Amino acid sequence: MAQPPPPRPSGYFEKKGEVHELRQLLRGASAERDQQKKRDAIKKVIAYMTLGIDVSPLFSEMVMASATTDLVQKKMVYLYLVNYAESNSDLAILAINTLQKDCRDDDPMIRGLALRSLCSLSLANMVEYLQPAVQRALEDVNGYVRKTAVIGVVKIFYINPSVVTETELLPSLKRLVNDNDAHVVSNTISALEEVLASEGGYMPSEEVITALLNRIMHFSEWGQCAILRLLTKYSVANEGEMFDIMNILDDLLKQSSSAVVLSVTKIFVDLTSNRPDIQQDVLQRLKGPLLTLMAAASTELAYTVLVHIHALLGRGPRTVEAQHLVRKCNSSCAPRSRSALASSGVAMASITREEVQKHNKADDAWIIVDGDVYDVTKFAGVHPGGTQILLEYAGKDATEDFYALHRLEVLDKYQRLKKGRLADAKGPPPKKAAEVMQEFSKVPFAEPTYLQGFKSPYFNETHIKLRQEARKFFCGETLEEALECEAKSTAPSKDMRKRMGELGLIAMVQGPGAHLKIPPKGLCGGVVKPEDFTYFHEMVVQEERCRTMCPGYEDGLDGAVSIGLPVLLKYGSEWMKNEVVPPIIMGEQTVVLSITEAFAGSDVAGLRTTAVLDASGERLGVGRGRTNEAAERGEGRRTNQRRSGRRNRWNRWTARRFGPHGWKEREPVEPF
């Protein structure tokens, strides 16, 4: 016997003839002149349109609905008109007539809104309607309309370039560079750069540059950047004009905007490129704003500033207080910024032993460690071993006693105290702890015996190369982040997990198997082939991952994966191995293991919760209203539940594990 069709969900969509009902709502609201009811009806039309339901039969009613002074209704109607006009040329004519009429409205907001919607019709046969409307709007008395018209010129240009270049649109656009509205000028500069890109962009005259510079403080940060980009194309006539420009722009160096400060920096350097004597003064002037910007900005922005400093240092003697720059960077910047500083070649100050010997007092104490000079004046008061023992070495070389009591990484921690390096120091500066940790130790029994000259039937060259690559990652790439995360009790970054997956380390800690072929670049760059991988290779990786000595960070990288992934690799279906496992292996996703009867001796007994199906019978709730993905209660079947428009890709064994009743009849338990 045929089964009746399932009932449709409640809401608007269970009614028949939705479009007819909406037409009645629109006509009724217009007849009653009830603005709120009319607005609600238009909202429903837009909602249907957004969901993909064809409501184009309501085009005539929506055109009539545009006859209102309510801006909210206007915006929704224009959205509807533009959406259907682009796909239906017959409807486009009606839409254009409505929009052209509103382009002549008394309200400037409606004029600008109608013009913006009209220009959104990117159809080649619409240019004849767009060009007059935009031309008229370029001369409008309201700045908002002119600003919108400027963007309209660019849209026409991309539809038909000749309409802009061969008509009055381009001359009108150039005249707006001198407009009294700063927003119009900003848009105009950007528009001219796009329209004249084939000619090298807009080339400003002396009059234009003078007018823009005199008004530059009235522009927004975005507008100031547009003017500064334009200024890079301008060639100054003489030295007097150069100083005038620099005097005007000098106040912009006080801005908090990094884009403005860096743009001014570029202009200052370009203007004085042929005057080395003046450029050195310019570099000194730029030092303060750049260091301030670097200290106040995020680590990503600090890196960008350091790249600019690197470029500046290449233009002359490196005398921009290098030690001050290093101290700031080491105390406030991310590892990437520190590496950028190191690559910039900033040389530390060269200090003689005689100069160090002068700093031998409690209020002025320097010491020498491995040829580097450190100012410990302020640090002495918080020295863990006491102030007096540190001051005994003031003005002296403390290298031998320092290494007798401290590890190498202590120096890395206090790089901000470094003043410079001895002029007569022998050899290169001491290596950082991360560099030393990446090397194989020569201390007896500090490494496996096969690394210290002994033969082994179990290990070969592939194990040695794999250990080198794994150590580079765990003792090099992860060390800075590991120490920071361990101190702050934060999780490893997603980028580091992805990097681990890219190297194949996540795959290798699961042991031999077909999953080793998933990383596209091979295992640590191909040092060992998947078919040659053994459990001894896995042991090498497991040993190296412990070298950061940050157990919380190590578990955060792949602890959960090492627990949950083996289950998928051994018992998962082919679909799970093909769809679920690869993103986990590559570090893009993670996996967790759900433990049942946790109270029966498990180490997660304190996390006892109960999952309960909601009223719809489709979603599982855990704890205080938190919801898991939906799970159909079938015998180990994959659900077709919709989530964010995509299929749920996780198999469920709820019914198999808990029987016919499962979690449904149990009461929710608040988490401890």
pLDDT tens profile 612-649: 777 777 676 665 433 333 333 333 333 333 333 333 33
The separation between the first and the last C-alpha atoms of the chain, rounded to the nearest angstrom, is 51
pLDDT of 19 reads 79
Interval 234-289: pLDDT, tens: 888 888 888 888 888 888 888 888 889 888 988 888 888 888 778 778 888 888 88
The token duo for 44 is 């429903």
pLDDT above 70 covers what percent of the chain?
Answer: 78
pLDDT of 404 reads 83
Question: Nearest-CA neighbor of 671 among 599, 573, 575?
Answer: 599
The residues, any chain, with a CB within 8 Å of residue 219's CB and separated by 6 or more, are 182, 185, 186, 226, 227
pLDDT of 605 reads 60
The residues, any chain, with a CB within 8 Å of residue 545's CB and separated by 6 or more, are 470, 474, 505, 509, 554, 557, 558
- 602 pLDDT tier (thresholds 50, 70, 90): low
Assign 373 to helix, strand or coil: strand
Place of tokens 């990652």: 473
What does pLDDT average to over the chain? 78
- 591 pLDDT tier (thresholds 50, 70, 90): confident
pLDDT of 189 reads 92
Alpha helices in 215-297 (DSSP H): 221-231, 239-249, 258-271, 276-296
How far apart are alpha carbons 216 and 42 in whole angstroms?
Answer: 44
Assign 219 to helix, strand or coil: coil
pLDDT of 78 reads 84
Interval 50-68: pLDDT, tens: 888 888 888 878 878 877 7
pLDDT of 311 reads 78
The token duo for 473 is 């990652």
pLDDT of 518 reads 93
pLDDT of 387 reads 84
The token duo for 542 is 């497991």
- Angle between the 182-195 and 221-231 helix axes, to the nearest 10 degrees? 40
Across 163-172, 408-417, 477-486, 594-603, least confident range: 594-603
pLDDT of 507 reads 92
- Per-residue pLDDT for 658 more than 50? no
The token duo for 531 is 């078919």
In contact, 302 and 334? CB cutoff 8 Å: yes
- Per-residue pLDDT for 436 more than 80? no
- Per-residue pLDDT for 431 more than 70? no
φ, ψ of residue 419 in degrees (nearest 5): -100, -30
Question: Nearest-CA neighbor of 538 among 466, 482, 468, 476?
Answer: 466
pLDDT of 319 reads 44
pLDDT of 99 reads 80
Across 436-450, 475-489, 517-531, least confident range: 436-450
Interval 201-235: pLDDT, tens: 889 888 888 899 989 988 988 899 999 999 888 88
- Per-residue pLDDT for 167 more than 70? yes
How far apart are alpha carbons 318 and 325 in whole angstroms?
Answer: 11
In contact, 608 and 672? CB cutoff 8 Å: yes
How far apart are alpha carbons 285 and 254 in whole angstroms?
Answer: 12
Percent of residues in the chain assigned helix, strand, coil, to nearest 5 = 60, 5, 35
Please give the C-alpha separations between residue 604 and each of 597, 625, 667, in angstroms, as whole numbers. Answer: 10, 21, 21
DSSP string, 475-490: IIITHHHHHHHHHHT-
Which of 345-368 are b and which e, b meaning 16 or more Cβ less than 10 Å from the residue's Cβ?
Answer: ebeebebeeebbeebeeeeebbbb
- Residue 25, number of CB atoms within 10 A of its CB: 19
The token duo for 272 is 């004085």
Please give the C-alpha separations between residue 533 and each of 472, 538, 543, in angstroms, as whole numbers. Answer: 20, 8, 16
Phi-psi region of 40 (alpha: psi -120 to 50; beta: other; left: phi over 0): alpha
Burial of 116 (0-12, 13-18, 19+ CB in 10 A): buried
Please give the angle made by the CA atoms of 25, 26 and 32, to the nearest 5 degrees.
85
Interval 108-164: pLDDT, tens: 888 888 888 888 876 677 788 888 888 999 999 999 999 999 999 998 898 888 888
How far apart are alpha carbons 483 and 164 in whole angstroms?
Answer: 59
Query: pTM score > 0.85 for this model?
Result: no
- 366 pLDDT tier (thresholds 50, 70, 90): very high
Q: Which helix (DSSP H) or strand (DSSP E) does residue 622 occupy?
A: strand 620-622
- Angle between the 143-159 and 108-119 helix axes, to the nearest 10 degrees? 10
- Per-residue pLDDT for 199 more than 80? yes
